[in-house]
Amino acid sequence: MGWMDIGANGSSFYETPNIDGLAKAGVRFTQAYAASPVCSPTRASILTGRNPARIKLTQWIGGPGNPDYVRNLPLEEELFPEILQQAGYKTAFIGKWHLNNVAGEQKFWPDQQGFDINIGGHYRGGLYLKNSYFSPWDIPNLKNGTPGEYMTDRLTQEAVQLIDTLKNKPFLLYFSFYSVHAPFDAPADRIEKYTKKKEKLGLSDEDRFAEETIDGKTFTFRAKQDHPTYAAMVESVDRAVGTVLNKLKETGIEDNTVVIFFSDNGGLSTSEGTPTANTPLKTGKGWLYEGGIREPAIIRWPGKTDSGRVSDALITSMDFYPTILEMAGLPLRPDLHADGKSLVPLLEKKADKIHDVAYFHYPHLSNQKGSPSSAIRDGDYKLIVFLNDSRLELYHIKNDIREMHNLADKLPDVRDELFSKLKKWWIDVDARFPEGYTPG
């Protein structure tokens, strides 16, 4: 789900009243970053509090190597649900896991890594076995539903049943949707709603798509949102959020439950059907431009956060680990969450920022046409290093969110300072690089 896939961030085609309502009740972050432009590395970063480059899990599991990468979330990593377990929390995982290779089998599944309950979490990252969101899915740890049952709706029912079961004790519910990942599939009535909406917009292909030339390659990307099936999938996620929030209220635990909403990579806009648009952000999933890593992020912490507050502080997916520990009254573990910082000072308005610098490392060719790259965000500046040809691009993100004006030649001092910081960080995390690239 991309940064622009919710109404609270500016989408006018997708309808997300429940997510928007969550934003009105909590804090919405405008500069929240996934650690990676693809799923598995970011998912690992959330659970470990460590940058994917540090744990060598830099590619979606099952994707091509060069450089090689870790294909199973290491069991020696102490994940935040394990810490919560030790503190007496009941922990449950629902949905997409995609943090182990098929060869790893069940020993790397959620129930072996800090979750007491695992519903549907296994090695596959999408519903590709039948290439459909409708039952039968034939997924381990999730019984097939009646023929035609929709996956997002089913997982939501599993979630509310778990809340009923766990409501009288401290619990963690890690609800990891398969939506809005391919294959693109939704109930016919929901698609029909957006088909009519699309017809009213009346966009031509010239309106809908645009071209971009990057790294000597010209490709088409979606510039405006009007994909009916994708919109129906977004709405289905929104309905699920609403159902879960209503259940918290119905059971009387709403005021004592933190809710965090986040995505693992940017919207898919440059390949594989180009179902969504991230405009004004550049590109999308598979790239280290803003469209690939800037995410929707909302936190509601009743009694602690002002309703409807918007924060432009830079935060990362590694920050949820220490944040959750501190929210639960547990000691921080910087030896574990080495790259994450607690967001509690931001949420309680005791600080206006927690990070000056953030680092990103995706040294692989992506399915979405992105080149191997590494990046640093330092204040308002962002430097991207393309590892296939050592090309440098420097942008002033505050003034140029679209990343259209490369300042690398105009501001050589800034460029060189950021590159120096990035190279030092590569050494710190022992970063791996594609064959043919020599850092230095």
Assigned token pair, 127: 């519903």
pLDDT digits (tens, 9 = 90+) for 58-98: 999 999 999 999 999 999 999 999 999 999 999 999 999 99
Estimate to the nearest angstrom the gap between the alpha carbon of 337 and the chain centroid: 18
List pLDDT tens digits, range 245-304. Answer: 999 999 999 999 999 999 999 999 999 999 999 999 999 999 999 999 999 999 999 999
Confidence check: pLDDT of 438 > 90: no
Q: Is 174 a member of any domain?
A: yes
Q: Please, what is the average pLDDT of the chain?
A: 97
List pLDDT tens digits, range 336-385.
999 999 999 999 999 999 999 999 999 999 999 999 999 999 999 999 99
177 lies in some domain: yes
Instruction: Please report which confidence band the pLDDT of residue 104 belongs to, taking 50, 70 and 90 as the band edges.
Output: low
Residue 103 has pLDDT above 80, yes or no: no
> How many domains would you assign to the chain?
1
- What are the two backbone dihedrals, phi and then psi, of residue 417, each rounded to the nearest 5 degrees? -65, -45
Phi/psi zone of residue 62: left (φ > 0), alpha (ψ -120 to 50 degrees), beta? left
Residue with tokens 């501001």: 411
Within-domain flag for 61: yes
pTM of the model: 0.97
CATH value at residue 23: 3.40.720.10
Please name which of 12, 410, 403, 438 lies closest in space to residue 203, comparing C-alpha atoms.
12
In a domain, 373, yes or no: no
67-85: b (≥16 Cβ within 10 Å) or e = bebbbbbeeebbbbbbbbb
Residue range(s) defining the domain that contains residue 322: 7-350
Secondary structure of 29-95 as H, E, C letters: EEEEECCCCCHHHHHHHHHHCCCHHHHCCCCCCCCCCCCCCCCCCCCCCCCHHHHHHHCCCEEEEEE
**Residue of 380, 388, 439, 383 whose CA lies nearest to 408:** 383
- 182 part of a folded domain: yes
Average pLDDT score over residue span 95-123: 93
Q: What separation in angstroms does the CA of 207 have from each of 210, 221, 222, 268, 415?
A: 8, 11, 9, 18, 35
pLDDT at 440 over 80: no
Model confidence band, residue 216 (pLDDT cutoffs 50, 70, 90): confident
In a domain, 299, yes or no: yes
Phi and psi angles of residue 92, each rounded to the nearest 5 degrees, phi first: -135, 140
161 assigned to some structural domain: yes
> In the prediction, which pLDDT does 352 show?
96
12-41 as b/e: b if 16+ CB within 10 A: ebbbbebbbbbbebbbbbbbbbbbbbbbbb
The pLDDT, as a whole number, for residue 177 is: 97
pLDDT beyond 90 at 102 = no
Residues 6+ apart with CB under 8 A from 233: 152, 179, 180, 184, 185, 186
Q: What is the pLDDT of residues 305-344, one digit of tens each?
A: 999 999 999 999 999 999 999 999 999 999 999 999 999 9
Task: Determine, yes or no, domain membership for 295.
Answer: yes
